[in-house]
């Protein structure tokens, strides 16, 4: 292999290696996570202490922060960019871009992606999209101020917000990042269908791969719909069309239908991969096969399928025909079933296991525990009459953060702790990892759980000063408490960043299979070389979850270890691998 001779720029910058591209996606997402996190802290300062000047607020231009107090228009920009960045530039790229790229070839036994150049293009197109979004902070009149949902006419007519180029750049940035998403999705689907190692039948694939596979299909089918909506919004803003303007015969609600037709599946794009990671991590550290492997696969498929017919539940109070509301309520209630199945199977996997509480496992358990809350709180808003009251309140904010922070982000933390040794060949510090976990778990719950109570009190989202309303004044102590907890939650992430950076250079050297796991990535060296394995790629003899097989000395049995017939081998599927 000639990798030692590859020049730096080809090896680490314009790399065709899926592992490097994955790591590039990870660094980019983590960078944006810091920005998104700082924006969240600013939001929390304003909501907790609307009368007090923000510390360091005077560092901002006087028109945004007069005497350190946040201007209401700036507040709208801050929370809009927090949501936009966290969803489009952190959660989606780190799950699909970073882990999808790093794990897909390694876990199915492929040397690289099916289309390495398209893969590189996907990252660099995504990076351009991110750069445009970041640049929108610095244009005249600042960045977008219409929430991550950008409902027109607010987003379509500059006069309504005072934001001019920033909102246009927002649209362009998402069009570009969406294109990157589609490129990635095509690559994952093709790679998983065509490049599996000999013996890697579909039903021998780890749940991480199933989840990334289903996610890629969702991305491929849903993202073009967002692109069409963004295109119309761009034309409305720049060319004077009236797609969303009733004055010209347009339809305001059209945007919401198109946006949610994408964004509801996107909600699952943001959680399914984490479900996959957690399934693998829970099985590995329970030293037990995943409970109900096929039920886990079919519930992933079920969530993805139903995910396309529930978008209207975001629009119950939008003016959509109430009869449609009833139909969307029914489909929304049904989609909770596969989520429940997954939760029960995770519990079933823990049952009679031999659980190792590594930082990865702790974060995975936090995922399950938060996902229970986020899933159950979703039942409230699925009920159309209850949604009348809690729609657009902090009950929704609590729900979405239980799914996106409690779910996706704990899934990301679990995955980083689990695969860091494979990515960088070094171990993260265990003790620091556990302290970071405890602080994050405790203060995450103290931050977001009380938001349910705010929502029950009718506290609207996206208002910059709750004390303007008499009925919200009694809730203000809760807002202050939430803000203090949010600051501690934010500060705790310094431990994560520190551990990550320190271990990157000075962590203990990792062996190839530090967790005694079964899946194929652990059969490659840590970190794997270019093309992942030496002369031959592994051959797969069994499913990914043969832990604690009776009669064996070891409590794990890698997928690629020949011989040693297992008592209940995963049944070979009619779907055979593409190449032997």
Q: Please report, as residue ranges, which positions from 76 to 135 form the binding site for other proteins (by CB under 8 A).
A: 76
Query: How many residues sit close enough to other proteins to count as binding (CB under 8 A)?
Result: 101
Binding mask 43-82 for other proteins (x = CB under 8 A): ----------------------------xxx--x------
Among 31, 160, 201, 308, the residue binding other proteins under the rule CB under 8 A is 160
Sites for other proteins among residues 549-568 (CB under 8 A): 549-550, 555, 567-568
* Separation between Cα atoms, residue 529 and residue 514, nearest integer Å: 17
- Which of 83, 105, 109, 147 contacts other proteins by CB under 8 A? 147
Cβ–Cβ under 8 Å, residues 273 and 99: yes
Shortest approach of other proteins to residue 278 CB, angstroms? Answer: 12
Residue 287 near other proteins by CB under 8 A:
yes
In the region spanning residues 199 to 228, those forming contacts with other proteins, defined by CB under 8 A, are none
Shortest spacing between CB 469 and other proteins, in angstroms: 6
Distance (Å) of CA 171 to CA 141, 234, 347? 16, 7, 42
CB of 505 to other proteins, least distance (A): 31
Nearer to other proteins, 386 or 484 (CB): 386
Q: Which of residues 482-511 bind other proteins (CB under 8 A)?
A: none
The two structure tokens encoding residue 552 = 């064996």
Choice between 380 and 487, CB closer to other proteins: 380
Using CB under 8 A as the binding rule, whether residue 421 contacts other proteins is answered as no
Among 64, 334, 495, 504, binds other proteins (CB under 8 A): 334
- C-alpha 123/C-alpha 526 separation (Å) is 23
Instruction: For other proteins, give the closer residue by CB, 465 or 525.
Output: 465
Token duo for residue 158: 């500059």
Is 252 near other proteins (CB under 8 A)?
Answer: yes
Using CB under 8 A, pick the residue from 354, 498, 529, 534 that binds other proteins: 354
Close Cβ partners of 234 (under 8 Å, ≥ 6 residues apart) = 168, 171, 172, 175
Kindly identify the residues of this chain, within the stretch 375-404, that bind other proteins according to CB under 8 A. Answer: 376-377, 379-380, 382-386, 388-389, 391-393
Contact of 152 with 246, CB cutoff 8 Å: no
CB environment 152-175: b (16+ within 10 A), e (fewer):
bbbbbeeeebebebbbbbbbbbbb
Contact range with other proteins by CB under 8 A, out of 10-18, 398-406, 408-416, 468-476: 468-476
3-state secondary structure of 71: coil
Q: 68-75 long-range contacts, Cβ below 8 Å, gap at least 24?
A: 70/42, 70/45, 70/46, 70/464, 72/464, 72/465, 73/145, 73/161, 73/162, 74/142, 75/43, 75/46, 75/464
Quick one: which of 16, 406, 545, 558 contacts other proteins (CB under 8 A)?
A: 545
C-alpha closest to that of 414 among 276, 525, 506, 520: 276
* Cα 101 to chain centroid, rounded: 14
Q: Which is nearer to other proteins, 271 or 373 (CB)?
A: 373
Compute the least distance from the CB of residue 444 to other proteins, in Å. 15
- Asked whether the beta carbons of 540 and 559 are under 8 A apart, the reply is yes
């Amino acid at each position: 292999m000639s990798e030692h001779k590859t020049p730096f720029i080809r090896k680490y910058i314009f790399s065709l290696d899926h592992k490097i591209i994955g790591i590039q996606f990870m660094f980019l997402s983590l960078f944006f996570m810091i920005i998104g996190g700082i924006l969240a802290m600013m939001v929390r300062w304003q909501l907790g202490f609307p009368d007090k000047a923000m510390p360091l607020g005077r560092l901002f231009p006087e028109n945004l922060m007069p005497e350190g107090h946040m201007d209401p228009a700036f507040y709208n920009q801050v929370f809009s960019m927090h949501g936009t960045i966290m969803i489009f530039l952190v959660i989606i790229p780190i799950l699909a871009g970073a882990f999808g790229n790093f794990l897909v070839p390694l876990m199915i036994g492929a040397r690289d992606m099916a289309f390495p150049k398209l893969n590189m293009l996907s990252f660099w197109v995504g990076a351009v999209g991110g750069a445009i979004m970041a640049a929108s902070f610095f244009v005249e009149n600042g960045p977008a101020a219409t929430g991550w949902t950008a409902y027109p006419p607010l987003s379509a007519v500059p006069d309504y917000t005072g934001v001019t180029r920033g909102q246009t750049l927002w649209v362009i940035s998402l069009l570009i990042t969406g294109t990157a998403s589609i490129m990635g999705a095509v690559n994952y689907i093709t790679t998983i269908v065509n490049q599996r190692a000999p013996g890697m039948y579909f039903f021998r694939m780890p749940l991480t791969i199933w989840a990334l596979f289903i996610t890629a299909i969702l991305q491929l089918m849903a993202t073009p719909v967002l692109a069409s909506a963004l295109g119309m919004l761009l034309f409305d803003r720049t060319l004077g069309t009236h797609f969303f303007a009733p004055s010209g015969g347009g339809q305001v609600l059209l945007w919401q239908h198109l946006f949610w037709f994408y964004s509801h599946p996107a909600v699952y794009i943001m959680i399914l991969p984490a479900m996959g990671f957690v399934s693998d991590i829970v099985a590995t550290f329970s030293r037990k096969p995943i409970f109900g492997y096929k039920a886990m696969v079919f519930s992933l498929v079920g969530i993805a399928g139903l995910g396309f017919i529930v978008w209207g539940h975001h629009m119950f109070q939008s003016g959509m025909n109430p009869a449609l509301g009833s139909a969307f309520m029914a489909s929304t209630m049904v989609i909770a079933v596969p989520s429940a199945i997954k939760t029960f199977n995770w519990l079933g996997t823990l049952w009679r296991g031999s659980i190792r509480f590594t930082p990865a496992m702790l974060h995975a358990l936090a995922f399950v525990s938060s996902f229970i809350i986020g899933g159950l709180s979703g039942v409230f808003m699925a009920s159309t009459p209850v949604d009348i009251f809690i729609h657009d309140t902090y009950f929704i904010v609590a729900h979405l953060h239980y799914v996106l922070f409690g779910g996706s982000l704990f899934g990301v933390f679990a995955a980083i702790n689990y695969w860091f040794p494979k990515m960088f060949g070094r171990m993260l510090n265990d003790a620091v990892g556990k302290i970071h976990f405890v602080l994050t778990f405790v203060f995450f719950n103290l931050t977001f759980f009380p938001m349910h109570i705010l929502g029950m009190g009718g506290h609207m989202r996206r208002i910059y000063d709750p004390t303007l309303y008499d009925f919200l004044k009694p809730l203000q102590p809760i807002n202050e408490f939430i803000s203090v907890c949010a600051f501690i939650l934010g500060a705790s992430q310094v431990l994560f960043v520190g551990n990550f950076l320190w271990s990157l250079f000075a962590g203990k050297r990792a062996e190839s299979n530090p967790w005694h796991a079964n899946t194929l990535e652990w059969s490659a060296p840590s970190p794997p070389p270019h093309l992942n394995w030496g002369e031959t790629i592994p051959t797969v003899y069994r499913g990914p979850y043969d832990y604690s097989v009776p009669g064996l000395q070891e409590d794990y049995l890698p997928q690629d270890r020949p011989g040693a017939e297992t008592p209940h081998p995963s049944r070979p599927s009619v779907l055979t691998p593409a190449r032997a």
